[in-house]
Amino acid sequence: MGTAARAETPPDPVALTPSTSGRTEGEADVIVVGAGPAGAAAAHYLAQTGLEVLLLEKGRFPRDKVCGDGLTPRAVAELIRMGVPTEESDGWIRNWGLRTHGAGHTIELPWPELAEMPSYGLARSRTNLDETLARHAVASGATLREGMAVTGPILHERSGRILGVVAKPVDDAGRRTGEEVAFRAPVVVDAGGVSARLATAMGIEKDFHRPMGVAVRTYFRSPRHDDPMMESHLELWDGEPGRSNLMPGYGWLFALGDGTVNVGLGSLSSTAKPTGLDYKAMFRTWMRNAPEEWELTPENQIGELRSAALPMAFNRRPHYRKGLLLVGDSGGMVSPFNGEGIAYAMQSGRIAADVVSQSLARSSGYEREKTLRTYPKILAEELGGYYSLGQAFAHIIERPEIMRLCVRHGLPRPTLMRFTMKLLSDGFDRRDGDWMDRTITALTKLAPAS
């Protein structure tokens, strides 16, 4: 992490000031650090309001990201809001529901028909998805700078308010290729992912008592590449099912429609403390016991097996401090229920953009700051209660024996599973739904938005 640069005192605490640290590369109304789904969404919506938006990305597109590549209907709804085309001819594959395996049972459930989101999901590799969203933000008017690794914030000398960022040009391997430069703006959005370097530099630390997930995944050539359903495995055995040891975690298989499937394993812990588990070894064990007809063999594997941490349930707060807003993984916005992060990344980017654009339309520094401070409150209202329920869920199911009991007694009951699917996928109407939707909505309102 680079040392934070300092600047002279500006007459207005949220006005642009000339840089006094490093070579000035550019000034903007807003800087967005990270061009993943959260950053791209924020940049898109901000640019649409006519603001000068600078989107900084340390990698170069196309670049990979560890993810399941599955998009729930809630994520699809965010794509629709952004106006992103999702035609199959462009490489998107639709799925109409979820197939779940466990305790000797298999159940297939279609995505619910709701008012707030479509009744289908999508799959798209993150290599393609992230570039599509970033280019969409550029088409909306944002300026994208690839190969720019942000090393630290530029801070106001006395107040500690962020006034911009310092970045270094890097190549595909992360090697420095030029002199460090300064970018300046009155508001900065940290969409830099789980590392949240800017947030950490400004004293916003991770809460180790919040749930944390770990995911490992790779790709295979497989005849299941055009499966019309997303698939989850709630039990992972290290041998023949029912006659061997049950491993912690769950598995997935998402068809990508291009001859390949994304196969991964996820594990959930109620805290961020290290579990000591060898997730890659667990994955390889699961693959050795996968059905032969899936053809998930080493010969058909494409690329390496990669892992990533999944920061959950607002594990880094506050989401706003002194001109810096956190969106997506930087603010711990992965669902403890299912490891979904893309939907909330785009949602938080949309909310942040609305708050920032409203703030910059105000005539005084006091009014701008008052508006920016509404961002954490809006997030808490939208997601706080749901994430609190997710924390309780994490405590219950992190032990394999408890998970097995839930699967054994729940999976054979279709009505219960439909309710569970709505809860776990965040696939329920909050305003005008059926009794299941109303029940889940009531629970999220009762749960403290902590």
Digit-by-digit pLDDT tens for the chain (450 residues) are 444 554 433 434 434 333 334 445 689 999 999 999 999 999 999 999 999 999 999 999 999 888 889 999 999 999 999 999 999 888 899 999 999 988 788 889 999 999 999 999 999 999 999 999 999 999 999 999 999 999 999 999 999 999 999 999 999 888 888 899 999 999 999 999 988 889 999 999 888 888 888 899 999 999 999 999 999 988 777 766 665 666 777 899 999 999 999 999 988 887 777 777 788 988 998 898 888 899 999 999 998 999 998 999 999 999 999 999 999 999 999 999 988 999 999 999 999 999 999 999 999 999 999 999 999 999 999 999 999 998 888 877 776 667 667 777 677 788 988 998 999 999 999 988 899 999 999 999 998 876
CA–CA dist 362, 360 (Å, integer): 5
What is residue 6's predicted lDDT score, i.e. its pLDDT?
A: 44
pTM: 0.91
CA–CA dist 121, 63 (Å, integer): 23
What is residue 213's predicted lDDT score, i.e. its pLDDT?
A: 87
What is residue 14's predicted lDDT score, i.e. its pLDDT?
A: 39
CA atoms within 13 A on the CB side of 406: 14
What is residue 18's predicted lDDT score, i.e. its pLDDT?
A: 33
Two structure tokens written together for 208: 């180790």
CA–CA dist 81, 347 (Å, integer): 10
Three-state SS across 366-391?
Answer: HHHHHHHCCHHHHHHHHHHHHHHHHH
DSSP code per residue over 396-432 = HHSSHHHHHHHHHHHTT-HHHHHHHHHHHTT---SSS
What is residue 1's predicted lDDT score, i.e. its pLDDT?
A: 43
Report which secondary-structure segment, H or E, holds 217.
Answer: strand 212-221
Two structure tokens written together for 217: 């995944």
What is residue 95's predicted lDDT score, i.e. its pLDDT?
A: 94
CA–CA dist 416, 432 (Å, integer): 20
